[in-house]
């Protein structure tokens, strides 16, 4: 059952009480920085940098001895995954915040991204302490996974002297899992059709043009009264006001007048990014289309292109343009 | 009976709701709140309002707003089509209603749940049932579904013809953001934008990056228009409408006028400009600051040229060195614009134009004799010049 606006506001107010709170007392690492753990990490990462392995090489590079890879920062204070024990008995503020959301139907969680920063190299003997704060919670977002809230935490790492040695931000999405369409076992009713490109609605003034495309013809409307060419087609010629309209078949040769590479939002049913262009046809009219068989970085204004009519989906043809050979 | 609209009406009240990403209330509630606040700001009683104008895109019927706010009899209700192009056009309509004696006081309003409801940035789809569905059919199958993609086509050509660079578009985004930083009502209040952040942001539709594009907002805005005579008796000094004009250009399409010989300008805005100068007797040199419709940054460059603040293709040079910031040649979008304050389809810009003439902007330009306010780009469009009452 989706929450009402009032329930949502109440939830959001409760969530906001967590912002700025540490998730727990600062947590020192179980072990001080040590060479066995460094070697194990480097083995796993296939990191052969000698300053992590060999004291002599590290000294030559200007360090007192072997140092730890900066990306191990979080490893020094990690002790299992506390969330794995579930939310039933929350042990810290992060658990409590997650439980609050779970109890309101935001049952799923996914980590979305993390950033780290390093102040200095850690060396064997350093004792690292992590202090994690719930930094912010987003407004409700509609994502491909479902609606939810992004929770940002920020961890500051300090050494035995209390000096900062690095930081880490971590973002999770706590969300209501979206109902996935039932897979069709018989291809019958209930099967969600895969989205396709939006096809043109066809009316009196444009349907004939699309029918010719399905026959493999790129047409340009031509006024039978005065011979003027028009695109897009219209019911009356703006030159002579004749309503007697015919067409000519275009040669398909053209030049890119302008273009755009469309990247966001991502449209279901379209291959992203979309290279769309405005093309001057040699007959003198202009048409919007796609340039295909061409990398986005290679298209340019003035580029010569040729029309090709592709069956882009079963039973539907679309004129597109390719770089002229 | 007047023969032009010069100095025939004044704006005497402005009102708005909070600007948010999720209002949690109906669009009608937003409209009522904005209209009611504008009437209060004018110092009028709702019963003194006898005209209402809005966008065809607005979902709030005039009669529903009137009934809720306590406006009685309505003698003019007019709507203007074509999205943002309607923003000052609905004031233009109000001016005509007042100048002809049809109405004594008109409220022009716009309210939308533009983020939590229908999102314009999401573009058109096959589900829209409108008379211009055939028009969109020439774009949808090839993936030109969003306003950003339509505007990108013009921007690419403009940059090609005149050598404008991404850094020139960034000037607009950064100057506008610098204003939002000081405006507590702005989404980007307290959050400046650097050139690096601008350049590092993702492409939406090349050459447009994220911060070339306006926001999507829930909110409402309204303004009250009455005669200069009545304005003199009201709470605030009235803001005179020196001239108002609307225009569609030759071979105009809605957002996709791709078939004109040149696509690196806005013929409809050129027409609006010449009408404004002719009616008001003013020119670009008389304009102290501007609210230029900024759904996308390139449109600001186009309009600077349409209104003759510089020559064709020279806007990229005009905007350099802080020309659009307070203290520059043309302080522009001092509220933060639709890029950085809120997207109330241009009507929040009209409210800011009024604040600038009143001297109450959070980024108040020193000189405020005349403020240009425009609306809509790439669609049939409109603009007006605001000034002080004598």
From A200, A205, A276, residue closest to B149, measured CB to CB: A276
Name the closest residue on chain B to residue A232, using Cα atoms.
Answer: B138
Known catalytic membership, residue B343: yes
List the CATH code of the domain at B9-117+214-388.
3.40.47.10
Pair (A243, A322) in one structural domain: no
Distance CA B108, CA B291 (A): 17
**Nearest by Cα to B166 from B180, B176, B155:** B155
The predicted complex's ipTM stands at 0.90
Helix (H) or strand (E) holding B159: helix B147-162
> Which token pair is A35?
């060479």
Of A202, A247, A254, the residue nearest A223 (C-alpha)? A247
pLDDT at A193 (0 to 100): 64
pLDDT at B6: 97
**pLDDT at residue A189, rounded to an integer:** 46
* CATH code for position A97: 3.10.129.10
Interchain contact, B146 vs A262, CB within 8 Å? yes
pLDDT band at A4 (very low <50, low <70, confident <90, very high): confident
Is residue A47 a part of any domain in this protein?
no
pLDDT score, position A7: 86
The pLDDT of residue A43 is above 60 = yes
A133 and A29 in a single domain? The answer is yes
Name the residue facing A301 among B146, B160, B203 (closest C-beta). B160
Question: Residue B24 is nearest to which of A9, A260, A276, comparing CB atoms?
Answer: A9
CATH number of the domain that residue A313 is part of: 2.40.50
Interface probe for B, chosen from A257, A262, A277 (most Cβ of B below 10 Å), is A262
In a domain, A56, yes or no: no
Q: Which residues of A touch B263 (CB under 8 A)?
A: 257-258, 278
How many CB pairs (< 8 A) connect A and B? 116
Q: Which residues contact B254 (CB under 8 A, 6 or more apart)?
A: B82, B83, B132, B135, B378, B379, B380
Nearest to B22 among A140, A232, A260 (CB): A140
- Say whether both A148 and A100 belong to one domain: yes
Unique residue bearing structure tokens 């950064």 = B174
Q: Are B127 and B73 in contact (CB under 8 A)?
A: no
A112 and A173 Cβ atoms separated by less than 8 Å: yes
Domain identity same for A76 and A167:
yes
State how far the Cα of B143 lies from the Cα of A199, in Å rounded to an integer.
10
Does residue A309 share a domain with residue A291?
yes
SS3 of B229-273: HHHCCCCCCCEEEEEEEEECCCCCCCCCCCCCCCCCCCHHHHHHH
Interface probe for A, chosen from B123, B134, B261 (most Cβ of A below 10 Å), is B134
Q: Mean of the pLDDT values across residues B83-108?
A: 97
Q: According to the model, what pLDDT value does residue B314 have?
A: 98
In the numeric block, the tokens 């199958």 are attached to: B141
So what's the pLDDT on residue A140?
Answer: 86
| Residues of the domain holding A309 | 253-325
Residue of A nearest to B143 (CA): A274
* Residue B127 predicted with pLDDT over 50: no
- How wide is the angle at C-alpha B327 spanned by C-alphas B325 and B330, nearest 5°? 60
- Say yes or no for a CB contact (<8 Å) between A288 and B133: no
A131/A233 same-domain check = no
Within 8 A by CB and 6+ apart from B238, the residues are B10, B11, B12, B226, B228, B231, B232, B389
Q: Domain tally for chain A? A: 3
Q: Looking at beta carbons, which residues of chain B come within 8 Å of A201? A: 126, 133-134, 137
Residue A150 and residue A261 in one domain: no
Residue A94 lies in a domain: yes
Confidence (pTM) = 0.76
Domain boundary among A193, A219, A249: A249
Q: Tell me whether residue A238 is in a domain.
A: yes
- Which pLDDT does position A188 carry in this prediction? 45
| pLDDT score at A185 | 47
Catalytic residue at B162?
no
Q: What is the pLDDT of residue B125?
A: 57
Q: Report the gap between the CA of B153 and the closest CA in chain A (Å).
A: 5
Query: Distance between CA A35 and CA A68 in Å, rounded?
Result: 8
Which pLDDT does position A88 carry in this prediction?
67
Residue A210 lies in a domain: yes
Q: Give A307's contacts in chain B (Cβ within 8 Å).
A: none
Query: If interface means Cβ-Cβ distance under 8 Å, which residues of chain B face chain A?
Result: 21-22, 24, 121-123, 125-126, 133-135, 137-146, 148-149, 152-154, 156-157, 160, 202-208, 256, 258-259, 263
Tokens of B328: 């520059």
Q: What is the structure's pLDDT at B218? A: 96
Closest-CA residue to A199 (of A312, A322, A279): A312
- Identify all chain B residues contacting A139, using CB atoms and an 8 Å cutoff: 21-22
Residue A258 pLDDT class (50, 70, 90 cuts): very high
The SS3 call for residue A211 is: helix
Shared domain for A167 and A230, answered yes or no, is no
Which of A45, A171, A172, A167 minimizes the C-alpha distance to A116? A167
Q: Is the pLDDT of residue B19 over 80?
A: yes
Q: Is A12 on the interface with B (CB under 8 A)?
A: no
A267 and chain B in contact, CB less than 8 A: yes
Going by pLDDT thresholds of 50, 70 and 90, the confidence category of residue A186 is very low
The pLDDT tens digits for A9-35 are 889 999 999 999 999 888 888 899 999
> Residue range A167-179: average pLDDT?
88
Tell me if A170 is assigned to some domain.
yes
Overall average pLDDT of the B14-35 stretch: 95
When pLDDT is cut at 50, 70 and 90, the band that residue A86 belongs to is: low
Looking at the complex, report in whole angstroms how far the Cα of residue B141 sits from the nearest Cα belonging to chain A: 5
CA B199, CA B305: separation in Å to the nearest integer?
25
Residue A324 burial (CB count, 10 A):
12
* Nearest-CA distance A96 → chain B (Å): 26
What does the pLDDT look like over B313-364, one tens digit per residue? 999 999 998 999 999 999 999 999 999 999 999 999 999 999 999 999 999 9
Residue A15 lies in a domain: yes
Mutate to test the interface with A, among B125, B141, B191, B260 (most CBs of A within 10 A): B141
Res. B116: pLDDT tops 80: yes
d(CA B105, CA B228): 11
Please tell me the distance in Å from A198's CA to the nearest CA on chain B: 5
Q: A276 or A268: whose pLDDT is higher?
A: A276
Cβ neighbours of B137 in A, within 8 Å = 200-202, 206
Determine, for residues B141 and A198 on separate chains, whether the beta-carbon distance falls below 8 Å. Answer: yes
Q: Are residues A244 and A226 in the same domain?
A: yes
In whole angstroms, what is the distance from residue B341 CA to residue B321 CA? 22
Nearest to A255 by CA among B205, B160, B314: B160
Q: Judge if A25 and A83 occupy the same domain.
A: yes
Mean pLDDT in residue range A208-228: 96
In contact, A308 and A321? CB cutoff 8 Å: yes
A309 belongs to a structural domain: yes
> Is A161 in the same domain as A18?
yes
Kindly state the average pLDDT of the residues A302-320. Answer: 96
Using an 8 Å CB-CB cutoff, list chain A residues near B160: 258, 301
Residues B353 and B219: their CA atoms lie apart, in Å, by: 18
pLDDT at B380: 94
* pLDDT(A299) > 80: yes
Decide if B219 contacts B18 (C-beta within 8 A): yes
Q: What is the pLDDT of residue A184?
A: 44
Chain B, nearest residue to A259 by Cα: B153
User: Does residue B175 register a pLDDT over 70?
Assistant: yes
Residue of chain A with shortest Cα separation from B210: A264
């Amino acid at each position: 059952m989706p929450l009402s606006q009032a329930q949502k506001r109440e939830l959001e107010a409760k969530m906001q009480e967590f912002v700025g709170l540490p998730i727990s007392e600062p947590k020192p690492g179980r072990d001080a920085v040590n060479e066995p753990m460094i070697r194990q990490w480097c083995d796993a990462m296939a990191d052969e940098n000698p300053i992590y392995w060999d004291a002599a090489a590290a000294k030559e590079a200007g360090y007192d001895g072997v140092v730890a890879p900066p990306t191990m920062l979080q490893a020094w204070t990690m002790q299992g995954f506390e969330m794995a024990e579930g939310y039933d008995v929350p042990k810290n503020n992060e658990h409590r915040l997650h439980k609050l959301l779970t109890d309101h139907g935001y049952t799923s969680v996914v980590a979305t991204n993390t950033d780290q920063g390093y102040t200095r190299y850690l060396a064997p003997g350093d004792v690292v302490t992590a202090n994690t704060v719930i930094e912010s919670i987003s407004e409700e977002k509609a994502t491909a996974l479902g609606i939810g809230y992004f929770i940002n935490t920020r961890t500051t790492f300090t050494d035995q002297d209390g000096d900062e040695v690095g930081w880490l931000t971590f973002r999770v999405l706590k969300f209501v899992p979206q109902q996935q369409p039932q897979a069709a076992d018989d291809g019958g009713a209930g099967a969600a059709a895969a989205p396709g490109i939006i096809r043109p609605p066809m009316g009196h003034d444009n349907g004939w043009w699309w029918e010719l495309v399905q026959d493999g013809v790129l047409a340009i409307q031509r006024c039978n009264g005065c011979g003027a060419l028009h695109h897009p087609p219209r019911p009356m010629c703006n030159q002579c006001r004749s309503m007697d309209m015919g067409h000519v078949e275009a040669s398909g040769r053209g030049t890119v007048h302008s273009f755009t590479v469309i990247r966001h939002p991502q449209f279901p049913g379209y291959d992203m990014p979309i290279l769309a262009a405005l093309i001057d046809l040699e007959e003198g009219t202009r048409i919007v289309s796609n340039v295909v068989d061409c990398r986005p970085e290679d298209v340019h204004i003035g580029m010569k292109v040729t029309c090709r009519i592709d069956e882009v989906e079963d039973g539907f043809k679309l004129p597109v343009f390719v770089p002229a050979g | 009976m007047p023969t032009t609209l010069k100095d025939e009406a004044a704006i005497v009240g402005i009102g708005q709701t909070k600007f948010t990403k999720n209002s949690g209330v109906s669009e009608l509630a937003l409209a009522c709140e904005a209209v009611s606040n504008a009437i209060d700001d004018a110092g009028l009683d709702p019963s003194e309002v006898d005209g209402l104008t809005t966008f065809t895109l607005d979902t709030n019927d005039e009669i529903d707003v009137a009934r809720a706010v306590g406006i009685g009899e309505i003698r003019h209700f007019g709507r203007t089509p074509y999205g943002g192009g309607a923003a000052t056009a609905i004031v233009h309509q109000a001016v005509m209603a007042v100048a002809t004696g049809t109405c004594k006081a008109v409220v022009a309003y716009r309210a939308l749940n533009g983020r939590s409801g229908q999102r314009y940035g999401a573009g058109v789809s096959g589900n829209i049932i409108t008379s211009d569905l055939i028009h969109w059919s020439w774009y949808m199958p090839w993936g030109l579904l969003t306003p950003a993609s339509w505007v990108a086509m013009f921007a690419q050509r403009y940059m090609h013809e005149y050598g404008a660079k991404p850094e020139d578009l960034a000037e607009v985004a950064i100057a506008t953001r610098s204003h939002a930083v000081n405006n507590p009502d702005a989404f980007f209040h307290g959050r400046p934008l650097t050139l690096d952040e601008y350049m590092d942001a993702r492409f939406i539709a090349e050459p447009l990056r994220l911060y070339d594009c306006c926001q999507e907002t829930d909110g409402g805005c309204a303004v009250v228009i009455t005669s200069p005579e009545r304005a003199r008796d009201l709470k605030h000094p009235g803001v005179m409408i020196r001239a108002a004009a609307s225009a569609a250009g030759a071979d105009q399409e809605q957002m996709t006028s791709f078939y004109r010989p040149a696509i690196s300008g806005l013929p409809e805005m050129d027409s609006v400009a010449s009408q404004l100068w002719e009616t008001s007797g003013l020119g670009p040199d008389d304009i102290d600051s501007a609210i230029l419709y900024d759904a996308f940054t390139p449109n600001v460059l186009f309009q600077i040229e349409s209104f003759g603040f510089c020559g064709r293709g020279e806007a990229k040079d005009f905007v350099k060195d802080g020309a659009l910031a307070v203290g520059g040649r043309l302080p522009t979008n001092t509220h933060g614009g639709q890029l950085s304050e809120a997207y109330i389809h241009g009507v929040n810009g009209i409210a800011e134009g009024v604040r600038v003439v009143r001297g109450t902007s959070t980024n108040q330009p020193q000189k405020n004799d005349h403020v240009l306010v425009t609306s809509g780009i790439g669609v049939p469009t409109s603009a007006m010049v605001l000034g002080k009452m004598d």
